[in-house]
Amino acid sequence: MSTSSSPPDSGFTDIRQGWIDRWAPPSVRPYLLLARLDRPIGTWLLLFPCWWSAALASPGLPDPWLFVLFAVGAVTMRGAGCTVNDILDRDFDARVERTRARPIPSGRVSVRQALAFLVLQLLIGLAVLLQFNATTIALGVLSLVLVFTYPLMKRITWWPQAFLGLAFNWGALVGWTAVRGELEWPALALYAGGIAWTLGYDTIYAHQDKEDDARIGVKSTALRLGDQSKIWIYGFYTLALLGIGLAGQLAGLGWGFRAVLTLAILQLAWQVAVWNPDDQGDCLAKFKSNRWFGWVVLAAVVAGRTL
């Protein structure tokens, strides 16, 4: 195994070292990259459904401590999910331009080392999960089924983005039960809306790899929908907004929720309208812009509770 801590030159790559390259010890850098700490957008997309739901379930302003716990949990479990993904996909990743510089296919982390790192992350996640009530703990344990099976979906279905939606929006259920202690309809509506949101943004993301995916036999909605992707993504985003809007209505949010949610509608419409599916850089930029959508929806929920 290579002892280098720097990724090889890989052309168009998703490795973003930045602070990792400047501040982290060389021996630690490959593990931070394996957990995707160089690219926090995935953590944000995992975290926002937790925050939305906790805020939705709260009678007033949400508990800051819950937000901290969810943030730590999102960083940890997103890293664990990426580690599982990279272990299972190491052969595919080595054949795709964007991913061949990742720590496992590039040889900087062995599979055995990655498994040990995975165990460490899962233990941290368990420590966070044990801070919640019994219902939330049970839901958190169930989420591991999705964490470990999602990476396999691209081998058997054209719709792996739907399974990613099931996994990435599980926080919509967990956030609600962390406050209320039981599942209720607003959380389920929010979960459905979040799945549709993920179908939209991850289809945009998948267009980065469509040529390599077609060559090596990996399936995705980008390949399944092809030139019709924009139309479908408009539909996914419409369903996402309907689900989020229904969740707010069922939870009894006030006029502030609907007013601020208008900005979220505009953000999603802008994404699809100006997106160039044949430009890898633009696919990544539009995917990342969903962080702003997440903040606007959170602001809408808080406004609906407080105004």
Mean pLDDT of 131-141: 97
Angle between helices 290-306 and 229-250 (to 10 degrees): 20
Mean pLDDT of 42-50: 97
Mean pLDDT of 125-154: 95
Mean pLDDT of 12-22: 71
pLDDT tier at 15, thresholds 50, 70, 90: low
Residue 14 confidence (pLDDT) = 60
Does any domain span residue 17?
no
The residue that leads in pLDDT, 307 or 66, is 66
Q: Is the pLDDT of residue 5 over 90?
A: no
Does any domain span residue 6?
no
Residue 17 confidence (pLDDT) = 58
What are the pLDDT digits (tens) for 246-286? 999 999 999 999 999 999 999 999 999 999 999 999 999 99
Mean pLDDT of 287-294: 98
At 94, which CATH number?
A: 1.10.357.140
Q: Cβ(199)–Cβ(161) under 8 Å?
A: yes
Does any domain span residue 219?
yes
What are the pLDDT digits (tens) for 200-218? 999 999 999 999 889 888 9
**Rounded Cα–Cα distance for residues 226 and 224 (Å):** 6
Task: Give Cβ neighbours of residue 174 (< 8 Å, ≥ 6 apart).
Answer: 50, 53, 70, 132, 136, 139, 140, 143
pLDDT tier at 114, thresholds 50, 70, 90: very high
Q: Of 230, 209, 228, 231, nearest to 220 (Cα)? A: 209
Does any domain span residue 135?
yes
The amino acid sitting at 149 is T
Enclosing domain of residue 259: 27-306
Does any domain span residue 20?
no
Does any domain span residue 11?
no
Q: Is the pLDDT of residue 31 over 80?
A: yes
Domain count, the chain: 1
What are the pLDDT digits (tens) for 148-189? 999 899 999 999 999 999 999 999 999 999 999 999 999 999
Mean pLDDT of 26-36: 92
Give the pTM.
0.91
The residue that leads in pLDDT, 107 or 12, is 107
The tokens of 188 are what? 């389920």
DSSP letter for each residue of 232-251: HHHHHHHHHHHHHHHHHHHT
Residue 18 confidence (pLDDT) = 80
Does any domain span residue 298?
yes
Does any domain span residue 22?
no
